[in-house]
Amino acid sequence: MSTLPPARTYNQEHIARKYTPGKRRMSIYWTWSYPWESQRDPAAMENRFSTMTEVRTVLWPNYETPEWSAAQFLQGIAGTLELFHRSTLSFQRIAGEATGHPVAVFQRIDQAGFKLPIDERILADTDTLMVFGLDHILSEQEAAPEEVAAIREWLKREGTCLLLAPHHDVGFTDDLEQRQMEYRHHRDALVPRQQRFGQYTRSLMKALDIPVHNMWGLRPALVKGTKEIAPLTAFRDIDKLGLLKNVPTLNFHPHLPHYELTTKDTKSVHLLARQPIDRDRPHPFTEAGNTEFNCLLWMPPNQQRVGDIVLVDSTNFTTLFGGTDSLANFWRNLALMK
């Protein structure tokens, strides 16, 4: 039997997956315009992804083997976008093994310039839709009314789950000293002093009456004396979906968003987990007295929908910053969710 990995395909029309009782069909939707993001001016100081050359410089010598060279891999911003795609392959494999269905991957505007809004072409064969909010606010990606209507109708279908993953909002102020404080807190040289994400997911949250706002870019605390991320403060008694079963920690990432609740209605949205914050360096959020940030939320079904809504950051589905057994358990729990 061949030990070679399967052949890879690209730029083909999606083949619908047949419904199988108890087996979720999962889909990733990257909210970005790949052309807009990849063609940002590398001289711009803010609100852009790093080029692959910058990644190689900062993380040297991690990417100094031939497969990452200019002869084989894109060296501009497009290369970094491809790193994101590659980083979800482990999740796709584990979820595919758990469900028996391949994880479909869509982009709002892809490399070839095809625009794909969220409509029946995506929703018809999807049970769990994962909306990865990594579009820069400047690109002005907004959910159209037709998309909102399609998602509302889809959420009336039994067994659906909408996972929203708006990323961080670093340096949203005009105060340059505060931007520098945020930068020194997260300590990631690849993140500019201002990097604002999530306009598409924000527009969806507003349209769907989801009382959550993504803020900041916070560095998780580590277990003292180690490089291991500190355990979650988990509220397992209200975790009716079982997302946190055998999940003491999520993924380490130096700048994770705080999912601020904009309502006091604890029945409509449940906080399932908080993440302790690294307090070695100051940040406006910790200076205000906070020691943890909201990292996992669940909105149970209501009178308008039978589907669930989950909020958790997209970096928890990537391996760019490592991976653990706990994270793999989280992926399986989501894939096998009843």
Q: pLDDT tens digits, residue range 256-284?
A: 999 999 998 888 999 999 999 999 999 99
Residue 323, pLDDT > 90, answer no
Query: Nearest-5° angle of CA 188, CA 58, CA 76?
Result: 105
Q: Does any domain span residue 10?
A: no
Q: In the prediction, which pLDDT does 319 show?
A: 83
**CA distances (Å), origin 121, targets 10, 27, 109, 198:** 18, 12, 15, 23
Q: Does any domain span residue 161?
A: yes
Please tell me the distance from the alpha carbon of residue 212 to that of residue 132, in angstroms, as a whole number.
Answer: 15
Residue 238, pLDDT > 70, answer yes
* Between residues 114 and 10, the one the model is more confident about: 114
Please tell me the distance from the alpha carbon of residue 140 to that of residue 138, in angstroms, as a whole number.
Answer: 5
Q: How many domains are there within the chain?
A: 1
| Domain that includes residue 227, residue range | 26-335
Q: In the prediction, which pLDDT does 325 show?
A: 92
**Residue 128 backbone phi and psi in degrees, to 5:** -120, 115
- Per cent of the chain over pLDDT 70 is 99
> Coil, strand, or helix at residue 264?
coil
Residue 6, pLDDT > 90, answer no
Q: In the prediction, which pLDDT does 337 show?
A: 94
Q: Does any domain span residue 2?
A: no
Please tell me the distance from the alpha carbon of residue 162 to that of residue 306, in angstroms, as a whole number.
Answer: 11
Please tell me the distance from the alpha carbon of residue 91 to that of residue 236, in angstroms, as a whole number.
Answer: 23
Q: In the prediction, which pLDDT does 338 show?
A: 86
- Per the listing, tokens 């706002």 go with 213
CB-based contacts of 92, cutoff 8 Å, min separation 6:
28, 102, 103, 105
Residue 311, pLDDT > 90, answer yes
Partnered with residue 196 across adjacent β-strands are 169
Residue 3, pLDDT > 80, answer no
Q: Does any domain span residue 281?
A: yes
Q: In the prediction, which pLDDT does 314 show?
A: 97
Extended strands (E) in the chain: 26-33, 104-109, 128-133, 161-166, 169-170, 195-196, 212-218, 233-234, 256-261, 270-276, 292-299, 308-311
Q: Does any domain span residue 18?
A: no
Kindly state the tokens that stand for 256.
């994770």
Are 272 and 299 contacting, i.e. CB atoms less than 8 angstroms apart? no
Q: Does any domain span residue 312?
A: yes
Residue 321, pLDDT > 80, answer no
Q: Quick one: which of 118, 123, 110 has its CA closest to 16?
A: 123
Q: In the prediction, which pLDDT does 1 show?
A: 58
Q: Does any domain span residue 122?
A: yes
Query: Nearest-5° angle of CA 62, CA 65, CA 68?
Result: 85
Per-residue pLDDT tens for 44-95? 999 999 999 999 999 999 999 999 999 999 999 999 999 999 999 999 999 9
Please tell me the distance from the alpha carbon of residue 286 to that of residue 161, in angstroms, as a whole number.
Answer: 33
Q: Does any domain span residue 6?
A: no
At 138, the pLDDT band (50, 70, 90 cuts) reads very high
